[in-house]
Structure formats: structure tokens, C-alpha cells
């Protein structure tokens, strides 16, 4: 090879090496893609979309039926904002209309890979039986997985572990958990709930050190089995307030026992209430006063609760009673730093460990 050719080859090799080193440096310096969580406004039901850094997605519940496909459209919009074209797994916590009702309309608009649920419906209420029949018809020949406490839903970029399903719960503490819960002794007796709420499939989602818990509409007796006499879950960064912020003390329909809220010790809580559904003052106060809580965000202003039991306006996605559909988004890093954004006003706040 002639000297001139050798010089050109050496120069090209050097430039290529510099380009590779620059690309490596930028990749090392730039933050890792976050875990994205969209708390979609389905007017007091639930629909939560979780997308990991690999682009894999978990949809927890599908909101209400009808309303001209309102909730399905809002889910599709959130999926588009997250940059995904299909849903890998749809977890149905239970078969009440505000959680499973939108499944048929959503399946007609967006591809869903695998369905996960707690198994057959056992509630006799006509609306629940009808909702389950529509769900079974929608699932059809799609892959369907039975949720069992302790199992995981396979993802490459996050860990999704089932805590509860069909009235059962994990029986051994998760790693780092198992501490005695001193608040259990002061909890009043909780009546047995034989309905679908108590059979909710609940999950703990972890992304590095970041931990998010969603236990659907689980009611008080089942909540307490997770944390009494010992806390089987441990603490979390983010807590989706159970049952839309419902608390009817002394009834089977009650949720958000202080013993579980304080044991989870969330840094941030999000309430998926509606203007006139959920957002009960007792539940709001329990979560608001829990030790270590920095902020409580809401999908809606709870009209009946009044100013004393609602968060400041900046932390509420929908202030009026109109179907505006604003969502709350969480972007989490594996070091447990996360940012919460209100899509109504683009107000955001970052929480660092």
C-alpha cells in the first residue's frame, strides 16, 4: 500500500474511532429511558398504562363501556403519547363495569396481545355478570393467563409481580419486607366482602429501585392480610389509592385502612377518582396524613368532599364536571427519582430519594 493510501486509511480509521467514542460517551452521559405510567381519566373507573424502556406495555383495566367509546379513545391517545402501537398485556383487576367495561370497545380500536385476569366471575349482580360475559366474548381465542399471587408477568424492562387475585394473596414477604406492623392492633374488625372488589388482582411494579403498587379495588379485610401482622410488601414510592379513594368505615366496602397506607409509606399517592365517585374525605385524609407522603395527586376534584379534602388545584388533572379527559403521567428512573406531570396545566414536580 502506498504511503498516501495508508495515510487515508489511518485517517478514516481515526475518524471512525472518534465517532464511536463520541457515541459511547453520549450514550453513557444521557439518562436511561424512563418507565412511563399514564393514569388515564376514565371518570372514576380505572385505566392505567405502564410502558417500560423497552417499549413493552401493560394496561391495567379499561374503564367504562359506552359513552361513544370515550374511555377506549382516551386509552388509545395515551398509548400514542407513550409511543406504542399495541398493548402487550391487559390486566383486568376485576369485573366491575368501571374496570372491565371498556374492553370490547378498546379491542375494536387497538391490538391487545395477552389478557390476564383472576379467573371466573363469582358475583351474582346482573351488571357484573353481563360485564364478564362481554369480556369472555372479547377475549375469544386471544392468549389468556390466570393471575396467581406470587407469579410475575414477563417484561424485559420492569418487574410486574402479582400480589393478590381471586381473594388470595402472597403469603411470604417480598425481599426486604416482613417487618411487624404495629398499627394492626388498632384496626377494627373488617367484615368479609364476598364481591368482586375483594377478588381484585393487584400488582407491585418495580423498575430498579422504583416501586409502584396498584391493588385495584381491594377491600379492607384483604388489604390487611397483606400487611398484618407483618408487612409482606414493604414500602413503595408511588401508591395508586385503592378503590378510587373509597372508605366506608365498618362496612365490607371499605378500603384504605391506615395499617396498609402507613405500612406502604408512599412518597406520592395518586387518586383515580371521579367528580362524584370516590374521593371520600376519610380515605383522602388517611392518605394525606400518612408519614412520609410528599404529595397527593388526583384525576378529579371531588365535588362532595369540599376544599378541605381536595389537593391544591395544580395537583388535580380535571377541575370541573365536564369530560375533559386530562391524565396524570409519571416518568420514573431506576434510581427511584420520578417526575409527575399534570396534562391539564403541564405542572410537574420531580421527587428525588
pLDDT at 245: 97
pLDDT at 19: 42
DSSP string, 60-107: E----S-GGGHHHHHHHHHHHHHT-SEEEEEE----SHHHHTTHHHHH
Q: What is the pLDDT of residues 269-323, one digit of tens each?
A: 999 999 999 999 999 999 999 999 999 999 999 999 999 999 999 999 999 887 7
Among 303, 300, 306, 304, CA closest to 319:
300
Band of pLDDT at residue 252, cut at 50, 70 and 90: confident
pLDDT at 7 over 60: no
**Partners of 169 in beta bridges:** 164
The distance from CA 142 to its chain's CA centroid, rounded to whole angstroms, is: 23
CATH for the stretch 34-351? 3.60.15.10
pLDDT at 200: 98
pLDDT at 20: 40
Residue 344: Cβ within 10 Å count = 18
Find the mean pLDDT for residues 340-352. 98
Backbone angles phi, psi at 38, to 5 degrees: -110, 120
pLDDT at 15 over 50: no
Please provide the average confidence, as pLDDT, over all residues in the chain.
92
Band of pLDDT at residue 27, cut at 50, 70 and 90: very low
Residue-wise burial string across 165-193, b where 16 or more C-beta atoms lie within 10 A, e elsewhere: bbbbbbeeebeebeeebebbeebeebeeb
pLDDT at 3: 43
User: Which whole-number Å values give the CA distances from 291 to 96, 294, 321, in the listed order?
Assistant: 32, 9, 32
Q: What is the pLDDT of residues 100-116, one digit of tens each?
A: 999 999 999 999 999 99
Instruction: Using a pLDDT cut of 90, give the percent of the chain over it.
Output: 86
pLDDT at 23 over 80: no
pLDDT at 249 over 90: no
How far apart CA 92 and CA 135 sit, in angstroms, is 10
Q: Using DSSP bridges, classify how beta strands 202-207 and 328-332 pair: parallel, antiparallel or unpaired.
A: unpaired
pLDDT at 175: 96
Q: What is the pLDDT of residues 223-246, one digit of tens each?
A: 999 999 999 999 999 999 999 999
C-beta of residue 107 within 8 angstroms of C-beta of residue 141: no
Band of pLDDT at residue 13, cut at 50, 70 and 90: very low
User: Which whole-number Å values give the CA distances from 253 to 2, 82, 242, 276, in the listed order?
Assistant: 86, 34, 11, 17
Q: Which residue has the higher pLDDT, 288 or 8?
A: 288
pLDDT at 236: 98
pLDDT at 111: 97
Q: Map out the domains of the chain as residue ranges.
A: 1-30, 34-351
Global pTM value? 0.91
pLDDT at 253 over 80: yes
pLDDT at 25 over 80: no
Among 34, 11, 341, CA closest to 208:
34
Residue 281: Cβ within 10 Å count = 17
Range list of H helices, the chain: 3-29, 70-82, 97-100, 103-107, 126-139, 220-227, 258-264, 281-288
How far apart CA 260 and CA 32 sit, in angstroms, is 32
Band of pLDDT at residue 353, cut at 50, 70 and 90: confident
Instruction: Using a pLDDT cut of 70, give the percent of the chain over it.
Output: 91
How far apart CA 258 and CA 77 sit, in angstroms, is 35
Find the mean pLDDT for residues 160-176. 98
Band of pLDDT at residue 6, cut at 50, 70 and 90: very low
pLDDT at 107: 97
Q: What is the pLDDT of residues 28-52, one digit of tens each?
A: 334 579 999 999 999 999 999 999 9
What is the phi-psi region of residue 10: left when phi exceeds 0, alpha when psi lies from -120 to 50, beta otherwise? alpha
**Within 13 Å and on the Cβ side, how many CA atoms surround 315?**
20
Amino acid at each position: 500500500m502506498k504511503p498516501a493510501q495508508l495515510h487515508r486509511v489511518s485517517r478514516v480509521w481515526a475518524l471512525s474511532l472518534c465517532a464511536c467514542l463520541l457515541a459511547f460517551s453520549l450514550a453513557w452521559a444521557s439518562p436511561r429511558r424512563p418507565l412511563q405510567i399514564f393514569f388515564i381519566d376514565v371518570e372514576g373507573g380505572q385505566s392505567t398504562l405502564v410502558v417500560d424502556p423497552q417499549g413493552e406495555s401493560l394496561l391495567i383495566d379499561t374503564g367504562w363501556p359506552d359513552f361513544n367509546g370515550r374511555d377506549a379513545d382516551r386509552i388509545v391517545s395515551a398509548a400514542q403519547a407513550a409511543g406504542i402501537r399495541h398493548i402487550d398485556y391487559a390486566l383486568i383487576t376485576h369485573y366491575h363495569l368501571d374496570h372491565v367495561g371498556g374492553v370490547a370497545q378498546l379491542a375494536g380500536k387497538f391490538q391487545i396481545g395477552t389478557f390476564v385476569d383472576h379467573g371466573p366471575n363469582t358475583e351474582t349482580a346482573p351488571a357484573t355478570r353481563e360485564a364478564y360475559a362481554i369480556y369472555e366474548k372479547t377475549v375469544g381465542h386471544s392468549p389468556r393467563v390466570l393471575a396467581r399471587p406470587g407469579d410475575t408477568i414477563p417484561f424485559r424492562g420492569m418487574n410486574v409481580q402479582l400480589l393478590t387475585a381471586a381473594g388470595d394473596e402472597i403469603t411470604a414477604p417480598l425481599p426486604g419486607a416482613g417487618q411487624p406492623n404495629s398499627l394492626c392492633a388498632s384496626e377494627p374488625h373488617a367484615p368479609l366482602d364476598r364481591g368482586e372488589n375483594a377478588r381484585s388482582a393487584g400488582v407491585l411494579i418495580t423498575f430498579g429501585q422504583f416501586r409502584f403498587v396498584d391493588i385495584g379495588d381491594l377491600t379492607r379485610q384483604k388489604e390487611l392480610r397483606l400487611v398484618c401482622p407483618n408487612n409482606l410488601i414493604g414500602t413503595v414510592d408511588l401508591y395508586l389509592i385503592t378503590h378510587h379513594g373509597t372508605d366506608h368505615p365498618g362496612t365490607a366496602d371499605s378500603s384504605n385502612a391506615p395499617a396498609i397506607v402507613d405500612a406502604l409509606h408512599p412518597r406520592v399517592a395518586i387518586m383515580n377518582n371521579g367528580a362524584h365517585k370516590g374521593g371520600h374525605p376519610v380515605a383522602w385524609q388517611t392518605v394525606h396524613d400518612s408519614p412520609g407522603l410528599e404529595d397527593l395527586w388526583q384525576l378529579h376534584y371531588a365535588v362532595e368532599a369540599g376544599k378541605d379534602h381536595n389537593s391544591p388545584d395544580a395537583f388535580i388533572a380535571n377541575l370541573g364536571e365536564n369530560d375533559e379527559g386530562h391524565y396524570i403521567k409519571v416518568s420514573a428512573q431506576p434510581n427511584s427519582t420520578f417526575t409527575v406531570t399534570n396534562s391539564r396545566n403541564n405542572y410537574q414536580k420531580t421527587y428525588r430519594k
